Amino acid sequence: MRLDASLPQGRRLAYMNVRVILIGAGVAALGGFALYDYNSPDSRRARALHDVETLKPDVKPHSCLPPGPLSRAFAVAVALDAVSPTTFDSDARKRGTIKHDCIRGASQRSTLDRLLDASGEDLVAYAAKVVESCPYVKNEYPVPECVALDVLGTRAEKSPAAMAALEKVATERKQGKEVWEGALYRLMSMPSWRTPAQLAAQLASEPEWEVRELLLEKVRERKDPQTRSSLETAYAKEDDQTTKGRIKAALLELDNPGKCVVEDEGRAEDGSCRYVCREQNQRLRYPKEKGPCPLVRQPESPNPGAKSPVNSAALTK
């Protein structure tokens, strides 16, 4: 029996039109909600993470990776951004790559950048957990915790959580040496973290030779006259000849802007006077003559047509 049978014909038609309109509005509302849900931040993030995961569906995550929605995508980034094992012709070459990537950061990281774009601050929290949970093993490559350092280093200037995670690792020095040195290097590479004078002030008290070398690298990059006093203190205290020569080079660069300086205090024990020209991005070598090498030289002309000095040659690393 029709519920509207008792209604006049006109009212039945009006009732039917209203019902059709209401049904259509409901369908449209459901479609709009579905479209909003598809384009919502959470939906876009889920699709982006899935896209990363499908780049290597057979990935086997490291057992140390913390569980969670980002673990599989992070494992894919670790695997795909790694250097091919065929490039390692020796264990020494592999260890060198591991050390470089942990301390200075990986040169190949396109998948990780894609994951960072997809996950944002969530990946920062996950990366901090990875650094804490994965042990550093020198001969195992790739190294998840070093990839995690790249996440923290990339976000540190804008993310207080990433900055705090790096500072914790660098201060506690509990992880493998390459890991906490990598955290410290990423921090000192940010001009906003410490001034050149503050970095130079750490030289005299830093017990680790490699950290002193990293500090010197950043101090020399910035050429701040306010570092002079700390450099002189560090020079007087330094026992390692190599580091002492580089501290002297930093002082020479302050006094001789734009010129080339020796890094061995002019000893030239191999018979060649070697110079670093930081502003020109040159390394020069001259045969040693009588006595120590001059501590400072003018850079060579960058013009390939210019005539080079008879006793000079480019120095290959």
pLDDT one-digit tens code per residue, 215-258: 999 999 999 999 999 999 999 999 999 999 999 999 999 999 99
Q: So what's the pLDDT on residue 197?
A: 97
**Token pair in block for residue 296:** 């400072």
97-138 pLDDT, tens digit per residue, is 999 999 999 999 999 999 999 998 999 999 999 999 999 988
- Only one residue has tokens 């499908």, namely 54
132-159 pLDDT, tens digit per residue, is 999 998 889 999 999 999 999 999 999 9
pLDDT above 50 (res 33): no
**Token pair in block for residue 295:** 């501590």
Residue 309: pLDDT band (50, 70, 90) is very low
pLDDT above 90 (res 304): no
Question: What residue spans define the domains of the chain?
Answer: 44-191, 194-255, 257-299+312-317
Q: Which of 74, 190, 181 is nearest to 129 (CA)?
A: 74
Q: What is the pTM of this model?
A: 0.81
Q: So what's the pLDDT on residue 35?
A: 47
Q: So what's the pLDDT on residue 315?
A: 36
Residue 47: pLDDT band (50, 70, 90) is confident
Residue 163: pLDDT band (50, 70, 90) is very high
257-278 pLDDT, tens digit per residue, is 999 999 999 999 999 999 999 9
Q: Which of 231, 252, 258, 208 is nearest to 103 (CA)?
A: 208
Q: Which of 165, 167, 229, 170 is nearest to 200 (CA)?
A: 229
Average pLDDT of the chain is 87
Reduce the secondary structure of the chain to three states and give it as a string: CCCCCCCCHHHHHHHHHHHHHHHHHHHHHHHHHHHHHHHCHHHHHHHHHHHHHCCCCCCCCCCCCCCCCCHHHHHHHHHHCCCCHHHCCCHHHHHHHHHHHHHHCCCCCHHHHHHHHHHCHHHHHHHHHHHHHCCCCCCCCCCHHHHHHHHHHHHCCCCHHHHHHHHHHHHHCCCCHHHHHHHHHHHHCCCCCCCHHHHHHCCCCCCCHHHHHHHHHHHHHHCCHHHHHHHHHHHHHCCCHHHHHHHHHHHHHHHCCCCEECCCCCCCCCCEEEEEECCCCEEEEEECCCCCCCCEECCCCCCCCCCCCCCCEECCC
**Token pair in block for residue 205:** 């008290």
